[in-house]
Amino acid sequence: MQRPDLAGSRQMKPSGSSKSARRGGASFCLAFLVAGGAAHAQACYPAPAGGKNVPVRSLYVIAGQSNAVGLATVKDFVSGKFDQVRSGVAYQNVKIYGVRGAPIGVAGNDDERKSARVRWSEYAQWHVAQAGFGYKNFSENARYFPFGVSAGDFFGPELSLASMLNNKPPQDSYIAKLAVSNTSLHFDPAADSWSPSGRLYAELLRLIAEAHNSKRKSVRLNVAGIFFMQGETDALHEAWAKEYKSNIQEFVRKIRGDLYRMGCTEDPDVPLVVGRIQDNKLWTHRKYVRSAQNELARSFSKVEVIDTDEFSDHLVVGGVHFDEYAQFTLGKKVFQAFERLGAQKSRDSGPRANRETDAQRAAMIDGIWEFHCCDAEAGRRWLTQGALPVTYRYDGVCKSASCAVIW
């Protein structure tokens, strides 16, 4: 079966329906703290005054491309012992922060190029763990899926992970998810990627910070594990595949350092699980990517690489995406890896990132934030008040529908 087009026509979100009244269009916003003119990184803020005794709870992060997104559905491709989950199943003791379903502004943009138009974190909300955090380009690819499927039926590894966390003491766990189909680790200015120099990586940090901050009055969320399922797109390009080793190692170093510095995790070597891409002939240059992934566990403390080759008979949509059984098995393997890694001690992996203190993060909460937006009317600007995690530093140069960014 030919792989479906993971793109789709972009739809604009109506004014007033977003978290921010200024979202949408081809623009994106870059924030500055006006006072002092200095740019600050986003942060996971401490509990408000008087709330220092809020309980600490674990937050697990899921990121990557289409097999992290999830093209499995609760309306079945499979039956019998492989039918792992039914429609309507929810895990009440686990909450997921992410984009559920395919709202206007997101639908059709679940691919590396159209994703660049979406501020994913602006569409994220908390939900009880259930199906619906999967594929967003369903409407134009409905022919590939069972009759009656909707965007609320798709899921990735988060659903099985939630099933395992549901009964784990203290029966109060959290997941943050951002995954986009076809995304690579190779930096491409015309497309979203997971490169630390890319916009999507910054969106992931923003989403994690917002998940933390939105709950800070009741719980202190501590990132306790990251699952990264990615690499298939890089394996389609020889040059990208050969640079994957350096790219994935830089990703691991950067995300650990950033989350620790931001105050989003107590562990500078936060456990990280990587799903090794399949030994599938469609991934032409897979040997470089798989080798780079295998080497991670030898190069970094508290990293585990899990195998997905056993899912070769459990694929849907073009023979590259995991079905319901595969996704549910994958989520269980991720949970088990997190449990093993959480019990390990960190090796000395070099200098730690400087960590902002609670006082420094608290000082960011109030102030006037200036948004610099570049769109078809390059250079348009406005001011807004309030607390907003900052993703970018900005050098003031607008180029058509994008912004020049200093990382």
Instruction: Establish if 255 belongs to a structural domain.
Output: yes
Residue-wise pLDDT for 206-230, tens only, equals: 999 999 999 999 999 999 999 999 9
Cα–Cα distance, 265 to 209 (Å, whole number):
11
Tell me, what's the pLDDT at 159?
96
Indicate which CATH number applies to the domain containing 99.
Answer: 3.40.50.1110
Domain of residue 341: give its range: 64-348
Tell me, what's the pLDDT at 373?
39
DSSP E strands: which ranges in 247-367?
A: 272-275, 303-306, 315-316, 321-322
The token pair at 327 is 């996704």
Q: What is the pTM of this model?
A: 0.79
Instruction: Establish if 293 belongs to a structural domain.
Output: yes
Cα–Cα distance, 101 to 121 (Å, whole number):
14
How many CA atoms are closer than 13 Å to the CA of 100, on its beta-carbon side? Answer: 17
Residue-wise pLDDT for 354-390, tens only, equals: 665 555 554 544 333 333 334 333 333 322 223 333 3
Least confident span in 44-53, 151-160, 275-284, 364-373: 364-373
Q: Is the pLDDT of residue 58 over 50?
A: yes
Max avg pLDDT among 27-41, 219-233, 311-325, 382-396: 219-233
Q: What share of the chain is helix, strand, coil (3-state, %, to 5)?
A: 30, 20, 50
DSSP string spanning 113-154? TGGGG--HHHH-EEEEEES-SS-S--GGGGGGS-TT--GGGE
Tell me, what's the pLDDT at 38?
26
Q: Is the pLDDT of residue 334 over 60?
A: yes
Instruction: Establish if 143 belongs to a structural domain.
Output: yes
Instruction: Establish if 195 belongs to a structural domain.
Output: yes
Tell me, what's the pLDDT at 300?
96
Contacts 24+ apart (CB under 8 A), 48-51: 48/216, 48/217, 51/216, 51/217
Tell me, what's the pLDDT at 42?
79
Write out the H or E segment, with its range, that includes residue 67: helix 66-69
Instruction: Establish if 184 belongs to a structural domain.
Output: yes
DSSP 184: B
Residue-wise pLDDT for 135-188, tens only, equals: 999 888 888 888 888 899 999 999 999 999 999 999 999 999 999 999 999 999
Q: Is the pLDDT of residue 28 over 50?
A: no
How many domains, the chain?
1
**Cis peptide upstream of residue 146 (ω within 30 degrees of 0):** no
Instruction: Please enumerate in sequence order all residues whose Cβ is within 8 A of that of 357, keeping only pairs 6 or more positions apart, or say none.
Output: none
